[in-house]
Amino acid sequence: MRDVKVSLVGYGIVGHGVVDALSRKKAMLRDMGLNLRLVSVTDHTGTVLAEDGVDASKILGERTLENVATSGMKGKEAISAIDSELVIEVTPTNIVHGQPGLGHMEAALSSGKHVVTSNKGPLVVSYSHLKKLAEDNGVMLKFEATVGGTMPLISLVERTLVGNCISGIQGIFNGTCNYILTRMTEEGIPYTHALSEAQDLGIAEADPSYDVEGVDTAGKVVILANSLFNMDVKYSDVDVTGITGVTPEALALAQRKGYAIKLIGDVPALTVRPTLVPLGSPIAVSGTLNSAAIYTDLSGTITVTGLGAGSIETASAILTDVISIYRTKKIDAIF
């Protein structure tokens, strides 16, 4: 049995999902020969420490750790001081400076800890630096959940399609935009009505600009470009147009001609823009779904679709990354 001490940093929507998923899958993981022991959970208020593993039932009902923290340690201090070999980093995204996640990842990688994350910001700002830090310290940096949430894309390209050359990836990488465009098409309602409906349902933030102006999708395009296409690009290299200018009339006209209008991110074109997609296309998914078409030389076009967000769904992608670190090690050992 491989015993792995895990630290979790960030205890919001995804952090709760991670605690829940690790607890629910404990027996299945043990059957695989992996005893994942969550020895710490840290948020902005402090840390819950438990050498034998944090009891999920004691913290899942708490929105923050304020009332249950057993240590005042936070952020980088907690990452460096706590004895663990893998850090799951799920703090808020900032794609301008990458903090606080960037500092957390640097602290973890430089002290020889694997990092698994759903946090786009540090990767958008500093992918090559973080990748080098991981390599220099002989550890792994995994980030499937940063693009398309639970939809498998990065691991699909890196592992399953490894014998192919990938000429491009086009997809819907933002569920909020896709929901708004879907509702505008279905009901013929203007953008502002669909947006307030999405806000009422909790699908859009009170300040939706990060999603609807294409910033979030562009961040994902940067991550795909740098990690899968070996490019070295920044957010400012992406040509971005969001969905705020899309009208119900344009959507209706497109539909009459056999098309949907979707916010499409394109790599390596480095564009994010409302794009005509044939109605029968497998990437023309509706509602909050994400999708991606992967253009390959040997396998033709491979299309994936799935939920781009959600607590347990995003945690599922994180769990897959965690398991893959130990599976990879096994394969490396064989070869």
Residue 91 Cβ vs ligand NAP, minimum distance, rounded to whole Å: 4
DSSP helix/strand/coil, 227? helix
- Name the catalytic one among 132, 220, 234, 262: 220
- Reduce the secondary structure of 180-217 to three states and give it as a string: HHHHHHHHCCCHHHHHHHHHHCCCCCCCCHHHHCCHHH
Query: Do 311 and 17 touch, CB atoms closer than 8 A?
Result: yes
What are phi and psi for residue 306, nearest 5 degrees?
Answer: 175, 180
* Residue 91 sits in the site that holds ligand NAP (CB under 6 A): yes
- To the nearest whole angstrom, how small is the minimum distance from the Cβ of residue 100 to ligand NAP? 4
Residues 295-314, one symbol each (x = binds ligand NAP by CB under 6 A, - = not), give --------------xx---x
Q: Which runs of E-coded beta strand occur in the chain?
A: 2-9, 34-43, 46-49, 86-89, 114-117, 141-142, 166-172, 239-240, 259-267, 271-278, 289-296, 301-307
Q: Which two tokens stand for residue 27?
A: 């027996």
Query: Per rule CB under 6 A, is residue 90 in the interface with ligand NAP?
Result: yes
Give residue 321's identity as a one-letter amino acid code. D
Q: How far is the CB of 118 from ligand NAP (least distance, A)?
A: 4
Q: Based on the shown chain and the rule CB under 6 A, indicate whether residue 10 belongs to the binding site for ligand NAP.
A: yes
Residue 131 C-beta: closest distance to ligand NAP, Å: 18
User: How far is it, in rounded angstroms, from Cα 131 to Cα 142?
Assistant: 10
User: Per-residue contact track with ligand NAP, 97 to 126, x per CB under 6 A?
Assistant: ---x-----------------xxx------
CB-nearest residue to ligand NAP: 12
| Residue of 225, 224, 194 whose CA lies nearest to 212 | 194
For position 324 contacting ligand NAP by CB under 6 A, the verdict is no
Over the window 238 to 277, marking each residue x when it contacts ligand NAP by CB under 6 A and - when it does not, the resulting string is ----------------------------------------
Size of the site for ligand NAP (CB under 6 A): 26
Residue closer to ligand NAP by CB (options 81, 269) is 81
Residues 139-168 that bind ligand NAP (CB under 6 A): 145, 149
Q: Alpha-carbon distance 132 to 140, whole Å?
A: 10
Report the C-alpha gap between 264 and 221 in whole angstroms. Answer: 10
- Give the nearest distance from C-beta 98 to ligand NAP in angstroms: 10
Q: Can you tell me which of 19, 25, 41, 42 binds ligand NAP, judged by CB under 6 A?
A: 42
Min dist. Cβ of residue 268 to ligand NAP (A) = 23
Burial class, 129, CB count within 10 angstroms (exposed 0-12 / middle 13-18 / buried 19+): middle
Active site residue 220: yes
What is the chain's length?
335
Q: Which of 24, 37, 44, 129 binds ligand NAP (CB under 6 A)?
A: 44
CA distance 17 to 26: 14
For the annotated catalytic residues, the residue numbers are: 220
Binding site for ligand NAP (CB under 6 A): 9-15, 42-44, 64, 74-75, 90-93, 100, 118-120, 145, 149, 309-310, 314
